[in-house]
Chains A and B, each alone.
Chain A
Amino acid sequence: MKITSPIVSRRSLLRGSAAAAATSLAHAGRASAQDATAESAFEARIDLRLNVNGHQHALTVEPRVTLLDALRERMQLTGTKKGCNRGECGACTVLMDGRRVNSCLVLAASADGREITTIEGLADGDTPHPVQRAFAEADAFQCGFCTSGQIMSAVACIEEGHTGSPKEIREWMSGNLCRCSAYPQITAAVAAAAEELG
């Protein structure tokens, strides 16, 4: 299945025509007829199976629901944060099939059948992921609201191999805003974790 590009503007999707929504609907391929009186495709529901942190979640959602809202409000996975809702701040970063995406820009429908990893699924039981440990050891946050997104972004950044130098880390971690500006510590944490993960 080809994914909808997460770069596409969420608003253009959400404000788009019913036809666009119908496309999502057809794409997901499992329209339910929950509301028999529905005249608009917006009032339709689709059934999804989201694989989040290794668990299968069956959801029935409106086609317009973003992955972020599905995570926070349908699965109560509130570790993923909403900061701007338009892909500017990165607080909602999760991994989709191992790649980092702004979950506010991804329709839940396009995550159907894909492997989603959120901050809650990163640790191995009680053992934190090396990036979590590095953020803890470097005190790489202040308020902590952006931290989930920073950590998820850092996991992917390391996997992508964009950690060759502090300059490269700074560049490739720039999609994640930190209003408290724990930037020096974040850079140090990503570098330390990258070294450990080799």
Chain B
Amino acid sequence: MPRFPSRRAFLITGAALGGTALVAAVGGVGYLSTLDVDGLDGHVEGDLAHLNAFVILHEDGRVVVNVPKTEMGQGIHTGLAMLVAEELDIPWDDRISVVFPTEPHPAYSNWFNALQIRPEEATGPVVWIGRRVLGQLGFIATGASGSTMGMWHPMRVAGASARHMLVAAAAARLVVPEAELTTRDGAVLHEASGRRLPYGALAREAALLSPPDDPVLRNPADWQIAGRSQPRIDVPPKVRGTAVFGMDVVLPGMVYASIRHAPVFGASVARIVNEDEVRSEPGVTDVAIVGGRHVAVVAASWWQAEQAAWILDVEWTATEADGVSSGELNERLREGLDSEELHEHLVEGDIDSAFATEGARLVEAEYQVPFVTHACMEPINATVRIAEDGTAELWVPTQSPAFARRAVTRGAEWAGVSLGEVTCNVTLTGGGFGRRSDGDVVSEAIFLAARMQGRPVKLIWPREEDIGRGLYRSHAAARLRAALGPDGLPAGYDATVAAQSAMESIATRNLPFTPNPEGDALSLEGLDKPHYAIPDRRIRIAHVPSHMPIHFWRSNGYSFNTFFSESFVDECATAVGADPLDYRRAMLRDSPRHLAVLDRVAEMAGWGSPLGPGQGRGIAIEECYRSIVAQVAEVTVLPDGEVRVDQVFCALDAGLIINPDAVVAQMEGGIIYGIGTALMNALTIQDGAVQETNFHDFTMLRLANAPRIDVALVQSGELPCGVGEPGVVPAAAAVANAIFAATGRRLRSLPLANVETVGERRIRTILPAAAS
């Protein structure tokens, strides 16, 4: 296994002394004049020249880019490799490939996500210490829309540093000054003598040189590869069917497992009633109680394991949640809102006097959303081999090798074994949406593999376990109040949300400590609207526990709070008879970046132009993951109540863009994810258990009913911002506001539509069919 030497000491000293990355604005986009990047030392290993922790060269000129980010469709392998190609001066062609490095090198950790900061902005001792600690802990994860934000600078430096080392190697070989050398198309050129040395021929010498102290980075204004759309690096294997997702891993001697989790979360296995019968099913080699909680069946094929699991008869232990239903859980949310013990997250100005002002117009509304799940297309799975010597190797489509490693420890504890070195191979991933950062399936697979005497086991959850026994975004409710001043705009804003703490639930399953669930940051996202000019505001939150396991879900709190808050802004506008666009413009008067995005989307949508009968337009805007995103939805509500989302316009300021096509695709995908969820998705809890099981009752938008989408990228001179989640964020509010515009009906809970039979048609309606 490769080991990279740690970063040279002087850099650490340098960071401690001063500093930091200075950001200079050149040509309208910032670039960084100091590097402050870990992992730039090289080494040679066999035929491979590791120029640093990110760039590996073959002798034949092939370039392997180490990208410690999970490719789950967002195109991050392509985007980050483009930056390396740009700085290394190689063409964007098939000489470039990307791998997810298996080694937990500190350079791969995303301390910047955990600290909510970009690497180039890291300043101060707290950040510095946090960075070193998280780096040493190997905290590697893909999420929070942070991959480009966190990695764009290190990837550029890695490419530029490698190029400098290749030039230095060529200078030594040719005995000429470096200044006489240039690079082009993957080779170093000495134009005076016409000599040309391909990178591959220089790589081994270059890898042993010291990296430059301060490699010059290309100004983004001069980019040739980055900044313009490039073909995805994963196109050929994905259209040929040769791409290997976690589920496709095949190892010699492998056995397969399926699993059943308790219907009610928190229950354990009391006994397996018919274990002998299940064991006698064709191909079955093992029936195991996993961690006391779940029952797995191991067989010669997954099909046999799953067939045998179908006839499992398990008695589960009773839990306090056995009688719990959606109605009771909703009631608990309302009690949370009414609680005297609310956690005060933010208070600005004098909220009480704002609401007591004589003549202030008061607006108040309550909103609610249900539990939903991720429903990644690739079922949840992990493949594990534990060798006779106790070393373990994983092949897993995970968003977090850090959590996966933690999960290995837990699975080994369940099995009562101690493991040696653990190698985590991160495979291609069929969708993530936050779901795949959890280590649940890894612990289960480790437990099973520990019983297999060296044979690998592939555990795949059937879809029913993913939907009905999986991980969820919390349900939530909110009470929003506004005191409108003489100008009709909110002078006071008082928002309370009740939800189950995501961080507590996530940490309970994946970390050795549990944070305080009060004031859960993930449940607050999108509620406080700092960009709106509101003098007095108060944001409060109630943590409402339940037995349901909560997890990261594409955009977390934004997915509900922005529905609440941006619907409510429309309600305030309606209260004073104002146009929703004009109203937001007035509230954003001090936020030019937001105004530019808002105006752009309004222009795209032809805001204010006439629409057909039954049609309506709705607008919503949010700042999230450092991006500003605004959307206008156009809906049609037919006389029988059928609702259709016809078109969505989206304007996005995500700062400097690396791969425009990929960013547009993230918006399109996010919008359809957000709209599908808003229109259709809710999980029903009865007798403590989720009732939905598969794609027929947890539905998603299909091609025929997906809206047309038009995306514009707005440039503001910001550095790269997050794009994985912002597309989801305003979608629900934009559609709800459009339905209000079309019908005068304000829908304050999700899902917006019910599936009903009208005549011979099954349609999504917002009105009872009888009322049509």
Some 11 contacts from A to B, beta carbons below 8 A apart, are: A73-B303, A78-B241, A82-B379, A132-B240, A144-B234, A174-B703, A177-B695, A180-B377, A180-B665, A182-B665, A184-B709
Q: Is the CB of B307 within 8 A of A14?
A: yes
| Interface set of B (CB-CB < 8 Å, partner A) | 72-75, 231-232, 234-236, 238-245, 247-248, 250, 256, 282, 301-304, 306-307, 310, 375-379, 428-433, 462-463, 661, 665, 668-669, 671-673, 676, 694-696, 700-706, 708-709
Q: Is the CB of B282 within 8 A of A84?
A: no
Contact of B669 among A62, A79, A142, A169 (CB under 8 A): A142
Q: Is the CB of B694 within 8 A of A86?
A: yes
Contact of A147 among B231, B238, B248, B709 (CB under 8 A): B238
Q: Is the CB of A89 within 8 A of B377?
A: yes
Q: Is the CB of A144 within 8 A of B703?
A: no
Cα A171 to Cα B302 with chains together (Å): 33
Specify the main secondary structure of chain A where it touches its partner: loop
Cα A136 to Cα B233 with chains together (Å): 10
Q: Is the CB of B430 within 8 A of A143?
A: yes
Contact of B430 among A120, A144, A175 (CB under 8 A): A144
Q: Is the CB of B241 within 8 A of A139?
A: no
Q: Is the CB of A84 within 8 A of B431?
A: no
Contact of A177 among B242, B247, B282, B702 (CB under 8 A): B702
Q: Is the CB of A181 within 8 A of B673?
A: yes
Apart from A120-B240, A139-B235, A170-B704, 12 more pairs, CB < 8 Å: A14-B310, A65-B303, A69-B301, A69-B302, A82-B379, A83-B695, A143-B73, A143-B378, A144-B238, A145-B377, A169-B703, A187-B703
For B310, what are the chain A residues with a Cβ–Cβ distance below 8 Å? 14-15
Task: Flag whether A123 is at the interface (Cβ < 8 A).
Answer: yes
| Interface set of A (CB-CB < 8 Å, partner B) | 14-15, 42-43, 62, 64-66, 69, 73-74, 76, 78-86, 88-89, 91, 118-120, 122-123, 128, 132-133, 135-136, 139, 141-148, 151, 169-171, 173-187
Known A142-B669, A144-B238; judge A177-B700 contact (CB<8 A): yes
For A146, what are the chain B residues with a Cβ–Cβ distance below 8 Å? 377, 430
Cα A189 to Cα B74 with chains together (Å): 19
For A184, what are the chain B residues with a Cβ–Cβ distance below 8 Å? 668, 708-709
The smallest C-beta distance from B94 to any residue of chain A, in angstroms, reads 13
The smallest C-beta distance from B571 to any residue of chain A, in angstroms, reads 29
Q: Is the CB of A83 within 8 A of B378?
A: yes
Q: Is the CB of B378 within 8 A of A128?
A: no
Contact of A185 among B240, B301, B665 (CB under 8 A): B665
For B242, what are the chain A residues with a Cβ–Cβ distance below 8 Å? 79, 120
Cα A176 to Cα B629 with chains together (Å): 29
Q: Is the CB of B696 within 8 A of A144?
A: no
The smallest C-beta distance from B59 to any residue of chain A, in angstroms, reads 25
Q: Is the CB of B695 within 8 A of A84?
A: yes
Cα A50 to Cα B428 with chains together (Å): 29
For A14, what are the chain B residues with a Cβ–Cβ distance below 8 Å? 307, 310
For B661, what are the chain A residues with a Cβ–Cβ distance below 8 Å? 139
For B694, what are the chain A residues with a Cβ–Cβ distance below 8 Å? 84, 86, 88
Q: Is the CB of A170 within 8 A of B703?
A: yes
Most chain B CB within a 10 A radius of its CB, from A88, A120, A122, A186? A88
Cα A26 to Cα B234 with chains together (Å): 45
